[in-house]
Chains A and B, each alone.
Chain A
C-alpha cells in the first residue's frame, strides 16, 4: 500500500511541473512564432523591393505578382550608369557636413559638460530648440538667400545646412559621452599640468572615440537621406541620391524594377550601417538619453 502510494505520489508531484514546463515552453514557442511572423511582415516591403530589383522590367509588372523568375542585374547596371553625379554629390555633402559637425560639436560639447560655461543649460536647450523650428517654414527665403549668395545649386548650400541640421543632435550626444569620462582621469591630467587642448586630445577623445563614431553614423544617416532641402535648393550641380530616386520614376513606361533597383542601391549603405551599429543607434536617436 505504502509502496503504491509513493509510487503514484512521485509521478503526480513530478507531472505537474512537467506539465507547467510544457505549457511554459509552448507559450514561449508561441511568442517566438508570433514575433517571427510580425518581424517578417514588417520586413516584407524591403524584401519585395530587393526582389523586384532583380527582375526584368516585364516580370515586375505582372498579375499575379511573380515570386519565381530568372534574376537579372540589368536594372542595377542601368542604375550604376546613371547615378555618378548624384552619388558623388551625396558622398561629398554627407562626409564634409559630418566632419564639420564633429569639428564644431566636440569643443561645444566639452564646454557644456567637462568645464561647463555659466548657463550651460540654456545653451543646451538653445541647440535643441533649433531642431524644433521647422526649416520648411523658411524655405522661400532660404532660396532667395542661396540665390543672392550664389550658393544655389552648389554643394556648399547642402553642406552648410546639413551641418546646422545635425549639430544640435551631435552636441547632445557627444556631451552624453563626455560625461562618462571618469573624473579621476580628468583630474590626473590636470595634475600633470595638461592644458585644455591636451586634455581634449589625450584624455577625452581616446575615451569617447566609439561615441564619436556612433555620432558620425547618425549624422551620416540623416544627411544621406535628406530630400527637402536638396530638392528645393539644387538642380543639377549638387543633386543628391534622394533626387536620383525621384528622377527614376518616368512619366510613362515600365519602371517598377528600375525604381526598386535604385531604391535598393540608395538604401543599402544606411541599412548595413544600421544593422552593424544597432546599439549605438538607440543612443544616437535618443540624443544620448538612452544609454
Chain B
C-alpha cells in the first residue's frame, strides 16, 4: 500500500534515443486512438456546442428557432443574483463537506488503525454509507431519518431537548451537507487508512524508543507522511462533491426558496423548468471557465501527489 511514483518515464523511452520511425510511432499510437477519439468527441463536442448556444436565444419549449443574441445571455448570468447565489452555495457545500469529511475520516482511520476485537466488521460498517446509492441515501435521510413527525433523528435527539424539528425546512443547507459528509467520510477514511498502514513501523518504534509521546509522534511523523494521502482525498472528494445533484434533488429540490440551489441544480432548473438552453449554456460556459481555473491548480496537485515518491 503505497502511493505510486508512476509518472516517472518508463526506462525504455530513454534507452532508445534513436529517432522512432513514422511507422513505429503510429504503431505506438494506434491502441490509444479509439479511447482518445471517443473521449474527445463525447466530452469536448458538447462543450463546443455549449459555447455556440451561449450566444443564442433558444427556448426548447417554443417552436421559434434559435437565433443569435450576442452577449445577452452572459449579461443575465452576471447580473442575475441566482447564478452568484448558486455558485456560492456550491462552494460552501463542497468546502464544508470535504473538510468535515476529511477530519472525521482521519479520526476514524486512526481508530481503525489499531487492533481490536471485530476490527474488520467495524471497517465494513463504516464504509457502507459510501456504497449506498446517493439518491437512495438522500431519500432515506429526507424521509425515515429526518421526517419532522416520525423521523429517527428527532427521536434520538429528544433527550437533548429537540422536539419535532423540520430539518429540511429550517436547516435545509445543513441537512444536505450532512448527507454529503455521511457519504464521503468513509471514502476519506479509506484513503487515510491506507496512508497510516503504509507508514513504516520501524520509524514509529524509533520514535517510541526516543520517548516521543503519541501526540508528538502523530504531528512530527504521521501527519507529514499522511499529507499526500490527505491531498489526494481532498482532490478526488472535491471533484465528485462539487457536482452534487442527487442530494439536492431528492431532499429539498433546491429549496426552501433557493437556499439549497447549487450550480448543478440551478442548471437543471434552467433547462427543465425555464427551458432556457441559451441561458443554461452561458451559465455552463462561465462554470467551465471557473472550473478550468481551479482545475489548473488541481492538476498540478495531482502531478505532485502522484510523483511524490520520486522526490
- Where the two chains meet, the residues of A that have a C-beta atom closer than 8 Å to any C-beta of B are 28-29, 31-32, 34-36, 38-40, 42-46, 48-49, 52, 60-65, 104-105, 107-108, 110-118, 121, 123-145, 147, 160-161, 163-164, 167-168, 171, 176, 179, 196, 221, 224-225, 227-228, 231-232, 241-242, 245-246, 248-249, 255-256, 259-260, 262-264, 266-267, 270-271, 273-275, 278, 281-282, 285-291
B1: CB under 8 A from chain A? Answer: yes
With A117-B32, A131-B239 known as contacts, the answer to whether A43 contacts B133 (CB < 8 A) is no
Top 10 A-B pairs, shortest CB-CB distance: A32-B116, A107-B31, A137-B284, A140-B280, A108-B35, A263-B136, A111-B32, A39-B122, A164-B42, A274-B131
Which label, helix, strand, loop or mixed, suits the secondary structure of the A interface? helix
Residue of A29, A161, A231, A248 with highest tally of chain B CB at under 10 A: A231
With a CB–CB cut-off of 8 A, which chain A residues contact B276? 140
B284 touches A32 (CB 8 A): no
With a CB–CB cut-off of 8 A, which chain B residues contact A285? 187, 190-191, 236
Contact for B243 among A38, A135, A278, CB less than 8 A: A135
Q: List 20 A-B contacts (CB under 8 A).
A: A35-B112, A36-B118, A110-B31, A111-B31, A117-B32, A133-B288, A138-B47, A139-B268, A140-B284, A143-B60, A144-B60, A145-B46, A164-B38, A179-B6, A225-B133, A242-B136, A256-B150, A271-B128, A282-B194, A290-B191
B28 touches A104 (CB 8 A): no
Contact for B133 among A163, A242, A248, CB less than 8 A: A242
A242 touches B246 (CB 8 A): yes
Nearest Cβ distance between residue B35 and chain A, in whole angstroms? 4
A42 touches B185 (CB 8 A): yes
Q: 9 extra interchain contacts, Cβ-Cβ under 8 A, other than A32-B116, A145-B45? A: A43-B128, A61-B147, A137-B291, A163-B38, A221-B131, A245-B250, A246-B139, A260-B143, A263-B137
Chain B residue nearest to A42 in the complex (CB): B126
| Contact code string B129-149 (vs A, CB < 8 Å = 1, else 0) | 111111111011101110101
Contact for A263 among B139, B187, B195, B249, CB less than 8 A: B139
With A28-B115, A38-B111, A112-B32 known as contacts, the answer to whether A48 contacts B144 (CB < 8 A) is yes
B175: CB under 8 A from chain A? Answer: no
Nearest Cβ distance between residue B219 and chain A, in whole angstroms? 19
Interface stretch, picked from B165-173, B199-207, B297-305, is: B297-305
With a CB–CB cut-off of 8 A, which chain A residues contact B162? none
B194 touches A107 (CB 8 A): no
Contact for B111 among A35, A116, A245, A270, CB less than 8 A: A35
With a CB–CB cut-off of 8 A, which chain A residues contact B45? 145
Contact for B245 among A40, A52, A228, CB less than 8 A: A228
B126 touches A108 (CB 8 A): no
Q: How far is it, in angstroms, between the C-alpha of A34 and the C-alpha of B38 when the chains are bound?
A: 49
With a CB–CB cut-off of 8 A, which chain B residues contact A135? 46, 243
